[in-house]
Amino acid sequence: MELTALTIHDLQGLLQRREVTAGQVLRAFLKRIAQEEGKVQAYMAVTGREALTRAARLDRRLDKGEQVSPLAGVPLAIKDVICTQGVPTTCSSKILEGFIPPYDATVMRRLDQAGMVLLGKTNMDEFAMGSSTENSGYKITRNPWDVSRVPGGSSGGSGAAVAADLCAGALGSDTGGSIRQPAAFCGIVGLKPTYGRVSRYGLIAFASSLDQIGPMTKDVRDAAILLRVFAGHDPCDSTSVDMPVPDYTAQLGREITGLRIGIPDEYFIEGMDAEVETAVRGAISVLESLGAKAERISLPHTEYAVATYYLVATAEASSNLARYDGVKYGVRTGKARNLLEMYMKSRQNGFGAEVKRRIMLGTYGLSAGYYDAYYLKALKVRTLIRKDFEEAFKRCDVIVTPTAPTAAFGLGEKTDDPLTMYLSDIFTISANLAGIPGISLPCGFTQAGLPIGLQLLGKPFDEATLLQVGFAYEQATEWHRRKPPL
Ligand code: GLN
């Protein structure tokens, strides 16, 4: 098999036994990127030259028999919302064009220490606002399974890069589904950790009470490997929680006999795609055949999740994005007669339409006179949604749902109608509002050959059970082995 088609754990074995060098692995990926990236457009930037230097340095150390770090020589792609020292980081926004962070995000520092090779930065919806990556200020990423369709979003570049074997694994960020939904659309594994499990230091903020960084990988074991490397408390992020990080891979392979899975009525709704429903129900039967006990549950406030999210997320975004004023970072308009005009023109030219829409919605929801009616009420409903999950988890260990109501939609299909675009996150948003972890993994394909995603939601800080159940399902099925026909 091609080196580029291998999982991280396969590559680890080859690299550690010195059957391949880090240089060989890297060159295989650079060659594939040269051949296929034009069709997919997953990357904002490929850092080939720096990567070659890094791989050569790693090889010299490995040749000397130095202790091998877990990711030594593994090439990863990083969503362009994560700060990389010395490497441009734009959030796919024109307003950050040319911004080169003077420091690494904590996740980057930890991956670096573990020996990974940075392959490049991936395309995304501008400031992670979107579900199709079409809101990028730079380029349109295509779904490797069908290049006339979207890869999902906002981590669409990472999703497409993993699916098309343009990297061994990737990092995404998830505020309302941006790891899980593109993972579903691209037929890969994507995990959103519990809020507080992973440091947000160096993650450019969209909605700070919802954002989390997580792995996007070719299988469940790879997600466990990456999460273990970068999760854990960080003094630079006061919302990261000081709890030990379990060895997630050690739990894989444990039986799931007796595990209680909850099937929420509210996630199997009229109007959802029949092929998606069939695939997810099929996956539930597989879990039952492995010994799990399925039970219907209710999450009664689900219908308010999208509205609540679009109040909370836009309010936080309007305040987070106030810092882009043309002074501190990125692009500044040259033609302005005074300071105010410079602020206004820089923001007007630098932000795309969706970002402006969110800033206006958020500012409105926070303004005097509307604060109580909108923002404050949304916070109260958010508590109700969290309590729904607390109640449900008294009766079950994991909750099983579809990741998205449809498979990947066509490019341009939803760009004129923000509301239908917002509704594509209907099944992923609640987990962010409640702060709980969620994973998406492939559970079938539509007639048209598009991947379908299965979502597992877990108790706070119980990523281990999600990975265990996901792994058991993956072992019993073959979906994760399929490759897109590029
Ligand atoms: N699609 C959702 C939004 O546009 C979620 C994005 C995300 O998770 N970053 O806000």
- From 123, 124, 129, give the residue whose CB has the most ligand 1 atoms within 8 Å, as the site to mutate: 129
What Å distances lie between residue 482 and 5, 82, 188, 209, 233, CA to CA?
A: 11, 29, 10, 36, 36
pLDDT given for residue 2 in this prediction = 94
Choosing from 132, 178, 240, 424, which is the catalytic residue? 178
Distance 439 CA to ligand 1 centre (A): 16
Choosing from 154, 155, 430, 440, which is the catalytic residue? 154
Whether omega before 285 lies within 30 degrees of 0, making that bond cis, reads no
> Which residue is closest in CA terms to ligand 1's atom 4?
130
- From 81, 136, 154, 428, give the residue whose CB has the most ligand 1 atoms within 8 Å, as the site to mutate: 154
Count, residues in the chain: 486
Distance separating alpha carbons of residues 358 and 368, to the nearest angstrom: 18
Mean pLDDT (whole number) for 383-396? 98
Grade residue 335 by pLDDT with cuts at 50, 70 and 90: confident
Distance 154 CA to ligand 1 centre (A): 6
Distance 34 CA to ligand 1 centre (A): 30
178 is catalytic: yes
154 is catalytic: yes
Atom of ligand 1 nearest to the CA of 174: 8
Q: What is the pLDDT of residues 146-189, one digit of tens each?
A: 999 999 999 999 999 999 999 999 999 999 999 999 999 999 99
What is the domain partition of the chain in residue ranges? 3-251, 303-379
Mean pLDDT (whole number) for 40-44? 98
What Å distances lie between residue 53 and 82, 103, 130, 461, CA to CA?
A: 22, 20, 35, 37
Distance separating alpha carbons of residues 334 and 349, to the nearest angstrom: 11
- Partnered with residue 121 across adjacent β-strands are 45, 78
pLDDT given for residue 486 in this prediction = 84
Please give the CATH architecture assigned to the domain spanning 3-251: Alpha-Beta Complex (3.90)
Q: Write b or e for each residue in 60-84: b if 16 or more Cβ atoms lie within 10 A of its Cβ, otherwise e.
A: eebeeeeebbbbbbbbbbbbbbbbb
Distance separating alpha carbons of residues 283 and 402, to the nearest angstrom: 10
pLDDT given for residue 163 in this prediction = 98
Grade residue 406 by pLDDT with cuts at 50, 70 and 90: very high
Atom of ligand 1 nearest to the CA of 421: 1
Distance 138 CA to ligand 1 centre (A): 18
Proportion of the chain above pLDDT 90, given as a percent: 93
Q: Is the CB of 313 under 6 A from ligand 1?
A: yes
Query: CA 267 from chain center: how many Å?
Result: 21
Proportion of the chain above pLDDT 70, given as a percent: 100
Q: Is the CB of 129 under 6 A from ligand 1?
A: yes
- Partnered with residue 452 across adjacent β-strands are 444
Grade residue 424 by pLDDT with cuts at 50, 70 and 90: confident
> Which residue is closest in CA terms to ligand 1's atom 10?
129
Mean pLDDT (whole number) for 56-84? 93
pLDDT given for residue 333 in this prediction = 86
Mean pLDDT (whole number) for 203-226? 98
Distance 128 CA to ligand 1 centre (A): 6
Helix axes 305-320, 377-395, angle to 10 degrees: 130
- Look at residue 282 and tell me whether its pLDDT is greater than 90: yes
